Chains A and B, each alone.
Chain A
């Protein structure tokens, strides 16, 4: 095991920390900041694995992680500014992100072997649902969407590899997605035990 592979595992652990924390946060601005930092370490993890095992296998994952990092950090800036202009810019950015995801997802679906194409189609739909869910108001949409998204990613860690005759498991990838699901479960356990606070907060007179 070389140094870069060990660094990749450490970066993966940091990613888990940020991803887990992000789904405990109700405030959208803070959520985007924390998940954005998580995405950055996620990207760094793929880069480190690429240095260790070869960039060819990691390139598409690095691109996906860069896409997530930019998206989350741009959304953080937009929510932080919270003006009509920044929201308009944010929605235009979201539409561009959706178009990129559709184009990239469609290419993946078309290039996938026929027997696993259905899984990639589900992956594309769920990924789009997640991107939109992140932007929707309230605390629930993003959490429901991320569970579906993480489940699909978890599924693609095993059956595709098995179908391809590759039985290696991406342990860190599985842990990162599992952390998101566990975080959502923990959030709802906390949510159900906390005194109910209104989602809309009006100023005291």
Chain B
């Protein structure tokens, strides 16, 4: 028997976490003097509305501390459960380090319990998909070892992409320079970002929103047409639910498959860099199609 824990990078809602019986260790958001726990002290929607309202602001996100992990892990260990802990990419956040430190400290008190920390090298909708596969394996009564082994293979098949509404937030976060932001803004360029080997990089840029979404759909169809039975796909957004709903239905139509994963509200860890108006999508292989992972 094992308990699944994830940091806030999975972008699950409170309701989803409760429904699937998982624990979410939230990230911190710092607005100048204010330190808030994402999803607890401030909703994602309110957070992004504040980001939208204050043009000069670039809030900082911080990983959960080792103590935050200990507070969540310890009761389950005391209840005799092993743990699988999923973290956002260690190249984007120190969350993996915090979880590893916490596990190290707890293993002294609970030497007979297994604590497996998985660095997803992903985030947001990508991390959410990996988490959903782990939950499906848990429902299928896979033991901890087998689940971890499959999860490590699944994360290698996970791809995450974002299309941004504006380059403004990349500029605020120092990811692009002022000239690139200025010219990108004038030309109406929409950068397409990817999470590659755990890091955010720019795949391409496309002029115009309609054009960008059309090209993304064509790219998705080309990448997934032959594998659509073997994959799960997830769509997320930052304050642009209508766009996400439309994008989901048009992608379902283009691909000829239903996207069963609920539309995700992208959280602060990645959403701060993408900014309001961003759309995200991710896909990964289903655990049943991975082959023998043991």
Interface residues, chain A, with chain B CB atoms under 8 Å away = 82, 84-85, 87-88, 91-92, 94-95, 136-138, 197-205
* Chain A contact residues, majority secondary structure: loop
Contacts of B157 in A (CB 8 A): 205
Contacts of B284 in A (CB 8 A): 205
Contacts of B158 in A (CB 8 A): 205
Give 10 nearest A-B pairs by CB, closest first: A88-B177, A200-B219, A198-B218, A202-B223, A205-B157, A91-B179, A198-B219, A198-B222, A202-B219, A200-B215
Distance A136 CA – B205 CA, assembled complex (angstroms): 9
Q: How many residues of B contact A (CB 8 A)?
A: 35
Distance A202 CA – B220 CA, assembled complex (angstroms): 7
Closest Cβ of chain A to B4, distance in Å, is 22
Interface residues, chain B, with chain A CB atoms under 8 Å away = 157-159, 161, 175-180, 183, 187, 189, 192, 202-207, 215-216, 218-224, 227, 230-231, 283-285
Q: Is the CB of B177 within 8 A of A84?
A: yes
Contacts of B223 in A (CB 8 A): 201-205
Q: List 29 A-B contacts (CB under 8 A).
A: A82-B202, A84-B175, A84-B176, A84-B177, A84-B202, A87-B176, A87-B177, A88-B177, A88-B180, A91-B180, A136-B207, A137-B204, A137-B205, A137-B207, A138-B207, A198-B222, A199-B218, A200-B192, A200-B206, A200-B215, A201-B222, A201-B223, A202-B220, A202-B222, A203-B159, A203-B223, A204-B224, A204-B227, A205-B224
Contacts of B176 in A (CB 8 A): 84, 87-88
Closest Cβ of chain A to B78, distance in Å, is 38
Nearest chain-A residue to B170 (Cβ)?
A84
